[in-house]
Amino acid sequence: MAGRRPLVLGARVALAHPRAADRDEFLAAVRRSQPLHDPWVHPPATAGEWSAYLRRVRGRERFAYHARRLDDGALVGIVNVNDVIRGNLQQAFVGYYGFAPHAGHGYMTEVLQLVVRECFTTLDLHRVEANIQPDNAPSRALARRCGFSCEGFSPRYLRVGGQWRDHERWAITREAWASLGRSSAPPTVG
């Protein structure tokens, strides 16, 4: 984590917003994670896509949290908080992916729990939604572990990999999150 002040500190990971200097490391992680990501997500894979992504997540409606392992600074995964809607909804949509070779070690569970906490505290949201393809067992399991519930099924909801795909709508409200007792997780430091 040298030279980088984390935004959120967890037990095994720290979250920070991405910086331009992260580009090459990020693109290398995306390249080696293609077997993990395919066919579920299509992260930025070129310098141009990375620049467009950085511009997108620097607004007031979209935020990216990149997670590094505390031990050695390895980039283990990311959660994007997309399309923050204020007014009477106070909601955002999350998208996430881990990076090889760190999947299956519980890092993304901690990362998503920390981001959900950020959503209900720092971002003052009321609801966080994740749309997941029914066959994506690891993503459904992750959402469930983090306290999301499946609210329904949306046919041909989202275009992924050029095709309109069915999705399940998973969500967690601030009240459901508070009932999990995770609001006293490690403190935000930035």
Complete edge-to-edge strand list for the sheet that includes strand 63-69: 8-9, 13-16, 63-69, 75-85, 91-98, 127-132, 163-173, 149-160
* Closer of 16 and 115 to ligand COA (Cβ): 115
Binder among 50, 63, 93, 96 for ligand COA (CB under 6 A)? 96
Binder among 41, 45, 74, 176 for ligand COA (CB under 6 A)? 41
The whole-angstrom separation of Cα 6 and Cα 19 is 12
What residues does 16 pair with on adjacent strands? Answer: 66
What residues does 66 pair with on adjacent strands? Answer: 16, 78
| Cis preceding-peptide flag for 187 (omega within 30 of 0) | no
Q: Is 152 exposed, middle or buried (0-12, 13-18, 19+ CB in 10 A)?
A: exposed
Binder among 109, 154, 179, 183 for ligand COA (CB under 6 A)? 109
Is residue 113 a contact residue for ligand COA (CB under 6 A)?
no
> Quick one: CA dihedral 23, 1, 72, 96, positive or negative?
negative
User: Please, what is the minimum distance in Å from the beta carbon of residue 117 to ligand COA?
Assistant: 16
C-alpha count within 13 angstroms, C-beta hemisphere, residue 23: 12
Give the nearest residue (CB) to ligand COA. 106
Residues of span 42-81 touching ligand COA by CB under 6 A:
none
User: Please, what is the minimum distance in Å from the beta carbon of residue 87 to ligand COA?
Assistant: 26
Binder among 132, 171, 172, 185 for ligand COA (CB under 6 A)? 132
* Closer of 105 and 156 to ligand COA (Cβ): 105
User: Please, what is the minimum distance in Å from the beta carbon of residue 116 to ligand COA?
Assistant: 13
The binding site for ligand COA (CB under 6 A) comprises 36-37, 40-41, 96-98, 103-109, 132, 136, 138-139, 141-142
